[in-house]
Structure 1
Amino acid sequence: MTTITVDSFTTSADGTRIAYDLTGPTPGLAPAIVVVDGVLAHRLPVTLAVACALGDRATTLRYDRRGRGSSGDTSPYSVDREIDDIAALLEVTGPAALLGISSGAFLALRAAADLGADVTGVLCYEPTYDVASGEPPTDPRMIAGVEICVEVGDPGSAVELFLDVVGMPCGLLPRMRESSSWAGLEAIAPTIAYDGRILAGVTLGRRALMGLWHQIGQPVVVVDGTASTVSVTRAAESLAAVLPAARRVTLPGHGTDVPPAAMAEVVADLLGVGR
């Protein structure tokens, strides 16, 4: 029978507590997958539905990235600390694949490069950046602008700034602010800049991810849907082209709102557990 463990914790290398839950068999009794969320997301209902659809075929670990949900945070932020968080979670599961969603796909790939055999594969769902474009991987406002808003105590403006960066029409903002989810978005607004730094690290810095593609020898599946945006499809195609062991999957009729059962079958295929 599938079991769910809610609000368990592990401790990262810098002492930060990281909250997670497990669905499926006890770790070590089945292949494992760790869900790496994208910007402003943590343990979404849809990923729990994916975990339940996998059932006893796999152990699924979902966690709150640092600064989100029930996890702690430690300053100053660095991408390396998020890799340490994933390493601590892999001590719970044993070697596991990673399901990286949106910007989380690039964090998952960085973990695959840094952690080697502890990461058995990566599924990148709707990656957000076309690595062949030559364009900057992130709008500077997603880092500096967000950090300024947070520093002056205005997390709502940080969220609004991010929504502007991703192209949400201004007319929808009042409705967003009145929604029940707005307070939760403000609570994790500082982490928008974390994802900005992850994306910036694809091309910038001493250990830019684009210089580590050759280290990612694990199987990688880059997934979009026929309903995904043109920019997402372009990003998926470019990412699959630069990774040594990648293949593309396009889910017919789906995009960001992919049904959990369809996603579960792509995960199951990566893990080699079938139906």
Structure 2
Amino acid sequence: MRTVTSRDGTAIAYSTSGTGPAVILVDGALCHRAFGPSGPLAEQLKTAFTVYTYDRRGRGESGNTPPYAVEREVEDLEALVEEAGGGVSVYGTSSGAGLALEAAARIPGIARLAVYEPPFIVDDSRPPVPADHAARIEAAVAAGRRGEAVKLFMRQVGAPAVMVAVMSVFPVWSKLKAVAHTLPYDLTIMAGGQRGHALPAEKFASIKAPALAAVGGESPQWMQNSVRAVAAALPDARLRVLPGQNHMVKPRPLAPVLTEFFREKS
């Protein structure tokens, strides 16, 4: 484990594996280097790339300097881009894709961008996120009810009610609660993009890096619509549908798609 120092002094923990051009993986909600999809995906990519996995602020071994702002997370990623030497490829999943999009609009060192299912709600194909959702989760965290915060989040993202009801008896529960305080961060990143409105035409206009917007073929229609809207909004993007996949995309079918895209010459 190594660290870089973000602009506000926060230490951001990261690891690298493999050799080749740099690729940085950006996790979604509740995940970090020791828990989530980045580790298995890095294993698939390391034969072709130097893969950077990192703990977003407040998670794992990274620091957590208040107050939170999306700009601070962009600066964390910028510090990693600089550590990697610039000209890097970035892949983000779920709300981590939302963060990667924010970063690509502000960090010139991001040369190629891939996102998987950023959870924008761009029409009426599913109900919007309630206006008080973030406040309810923040209140639960502030009161020390981390389990309640996780359950509120899981219900909103569409986890089956039975799974939400029984998840507290599984070993993964303690890992989820350990980073529950960062759920408001992800909700802040996605704020304004989950109200059922079309993406503003100018939202991603400044992203010049070639981009790949990917979605699982088995993902719900609202997510299909979100990814198609992102692909249409980016100045230089293509859409890729991964047959048989959903929001919990498997690393084996995903890795070749990313490898092909990241290896292309601009």
Whole-Å Cα distance in 2 between the matches of residues 202 and 166 of structure 1? Answer: 14
Look up the match of 1:167. 158
Question: After superposition, where does 1:1-275 map in structure 2 within 5 Å?
Answer: 7-25=1-19, 30-43=20-33, 44=35, 46-95=37-86, 96-116=88-108, 118-131=109-122, 138-200=129-191, 202=193, 211-272=202-263
Q: Secondary structure at the match of 1:215?
A: coil
The alpha-carbon deviation at position 123 of structure 1 amounts to 0.7
The alpha-carbon deviation at position 187 of structure 1 amounts to 1.3
Whole-Å Cα distance in 2 between the matches of residues 136 and 209 of structure 1? Answer: 19
Letter in 2 for 1:62: T
Whole-Å Cα distance in 1 between the matches of residues 201 and 142 of structure 2? Answer: 31
The alpha-carbon deviation at position 138 of structure 1 amounts to 4.2
Whole-Å Cα distance in 1 between the matches of residues 24 and 141 of structure 2? Answer: 29
- Tell me if structure 1 keeps the 8 A contact 2:119–2:194: no
The alpha-carbon deviation at position 170 of structure 1 amounts to 3.3
1:180-215 per-residue CA deviation (whole Å, 9 max, x = no partner) reads 0111111111111101100015589xxx98644110
Q: Secondary structure at the match of 2:244?
A: coil
The alpha-carbon deviation at position 52 of structure 1 amounts to 2.0
Alignment size in residue pairs: 260
So what's the TM-score if we normalise by structure 2? 0.89
Richer in helix (by share) = 1
Whole-Å Cα distance in 2 between the matches of residues 35 and 212 of structure 1? Answer: 22
Change (3 A) 1:22 1:273: farther
- Tell me if structure 2 keeps the 8 A contact 1:130–1:236: no
Change (3 A) 1:170 1:255: closer
Change (3 A) 1:110 1:123: same
Runs of 5+ unmatched residues, structure 1:
1-6
Change (3 A) 1:187 1:257: closer
**Identity across the alignment (%):** 37
Change (3 A) 1:159 1:102: same
So what's the TM-score if we normalise by structure 1? 0.86
Runs of 5+ unmatched residues, structure 2:
none
Q: Secondary structure at the match of 2:45?
A: helix
Whole-Å Cα distance in 2 between the matches of residues 131 and 164 of structure 1? Answer: 20
Whole-Å Cα distance in 2 between the matches of residues 97 and 133 of structure 1? Answer: 33
